Amino acid sequence: MNTIITKRYGKSSTKLGLTLALTLSLFGQVSAQQVWSPDNGNGTFTNPLLWGDWPDPDVIRVGDDFYMISTSMHYVPGAPIVKSKDLVNWEMVGYAVDHYDEDPRYNMEGGTLYLNGSWAATLKHHNGKFYAGFCTPYGWGREKGNFSICEADKPEGPWKRTIFPEYLYDPGLFFDDNGKVYVVHGQGTLYLTELNEDVKSVKSHKVKIWQGSFKNANELGGHFGMEGAHMYKINGKYYITCPAGGTQGWQICLRSDNIYGPYEHKLILNDNSSYPDNGLHQGGMVQLKNGDWWFIIMQDRGAIGRVPHLLPVKWEDGWPMLGTGNKDVITYKKPNVGKTYPIKTPATTDEFNGTKLGLQWQWNHNPDNSKWSLQERKGYMRLHAAHADSLKTARNTLTQRVQGPSSEGTVEIDLKGLKNGNVAGFGIFEFPYAFVAVEQVNGKRKIIMSNDDKIIESKENFDGDKLWVRARITDRGGIAKFYYSTDGENFYVIGNDLTMQLGLPWTANRFALFNYSKTAEGVDGYADFNWFRFTNK
């Protein structure tokens, strides 16, 4: 049996860890967490911008600050927003949606709504207010669903959401300089819908502005309809950027003197060299104070998710051409924002010492807030069990992104509060999922490793009150390995490898903490998570 020797993890080491992080920062290191950073510390950056699942990015500048919004599918809270001073170093600031109340299945009542939630988010700032929009498809389809606009005075919130009766798929919100408000939307066929000035209702019927193929379509692999559109007005002309071709796709730009067209078009990026055969597609562009333009664009990286890249924009004959020679050359000089800013990355590690849940965390559906607490036992995330047959139907599964090029998550779990029927543990969540947990039956406990709902290995008659669980994932190949420890020092391989997949399309794998009960008797049980610690290996 393989053994991994590690230093003992304990909260007494927190102060030492903070001191170490401060020391390392003086030498331009990322941090003691070792999260991937694109910032090379020498005035350049290397793509990807964030090596995790930040799909369908849209980006804006407000004064000296840049904000990016992302799709989050069924995860709650939804539509995450990050902030940067230089387009390279980012930190979380909040979410546009704190819960979904339009269907009881978001509460896992009468079913589940995996894959629903926020799709293709759009972000704008207008007259002192932030506006975030997204569509919420019914199931996987593009024909039915809802469209929402969320409004706030600041990106941290609070946000107020308006759900429209109309369904505007893959929306791109646009404020024209004549006071009118529009959404460009659709897949294959693109439409323009005018909203009322309060951005709370539709003013007129949708108008078709684009349909059909484009130059280079056949040589690129045939006709793929454009979607994920974002609209801009630059030097009196209307521009719409949109991806086509799906996972292997590329970026197209439409241009017209009139917002309703007719539009001419041009291929502005076609490159899959950084992660063959997956092309860079879907994103948004932003202008710096000095007039430069940059584009944040995503790339599918399998089980890790859809990761954003940052590319310079070079204007040629009035077209925004991306990258260098229509390619992403991976490493560039950082955007010229007039200053050098410190390295920052969105949070990962959590000691659970705060009074609020860290912004890195999202629940698998709307949480039952009566079933979790950071207050009942200070310094711990307490998860009370809810009745479920499996992790797939368990509410209050707490997740955050796995990250590339490889990453590792470790938790310490106090098990004193478990009741019969409880399954409490840590693992990798998608479909399929795998985990290591302690299951209690008839007063007896065992350590189990489950892969795709099959118990691969078990350790019977476990009589400890603490368990440490570790999951390691790799970007290439999408493999997750699992380990356990009963003393916090010696970690042992358990079970088999999970080949991470995308059974929930377009939704990345995630680290997941959970506690559910297979019996009604166990709903009073609880598990206390002392900490979650992330490293990029």
What amino acid positions are annotated as catalytic residues?
56, 227
As a whole number of angstroms, the distance between CA 529 and CA 12 comes to: 16
- Three-state SS for 233-263 is EECCEEEEEEEECHHHCEEEEEEECCCCCCC
Q: Please, are residues 85 and 64 in contact by the beta-carbon 8 Å criterion?
A: yes
What CA–CA distance (Å, rounded) separates 208 from 192? Answer: 6
Distances (CA, A) of 371 to 246, 366, 374, 422, 424: 39, 12, 11, 14, 14
Query: Could you tell me which of 374, 389, 482, 387 has the C-alpha nearest to residue 428?
Result: 482
- Per the structure block, which two tokens stand in for 254? 């439409």
Q: In what order do the strands lie in the sheet with 264-269?
A: 230-234, 237-244, 250-256, 264-269
SS3 of residue 458 by DSSP:
strand
Q: How far is C-alpha 166 from the chain's CA centre?
A: 26
Kindly tell me the burial class for residue 216, based on how many C-beta atoms sit within 10 Å of its own C-beta (0-12, 13-18, 19 or more).
Answer: middle
Asked if omega into 38 is within 30° of 0 (cis), the reply is no
For residues 283 and 288, give the distance between their C-alpha atoms in angstroms, rounded to a whole number.
17
Beta bridge partners of 320: 315
- How deeply is 344 buried, as exposed, middle or buried, from its count of CB atoms within 10 A (0-12, 13-18, 19+)? buried
36: which DSSP letter?
-
Spatial separation of the C-alpha atoms in residues 56 and 249, rounded to whole Å: 13
Length of the chain in residues, anyone?
A: 537
The DSSP bridge partners found for residue 65 are: 62
* Tokens representing residue 286 in the block: 């932003």
- Assess contact for 502 and 490: CB atoms under 8 A: no
- 226 close to 212: Cβ distance less than 8 angstroms: no
Q: Check if the beta carbon of residue 345 is closer than 8 Å to that of residue 89.
A: yes
Strand partners of residue 174? 182
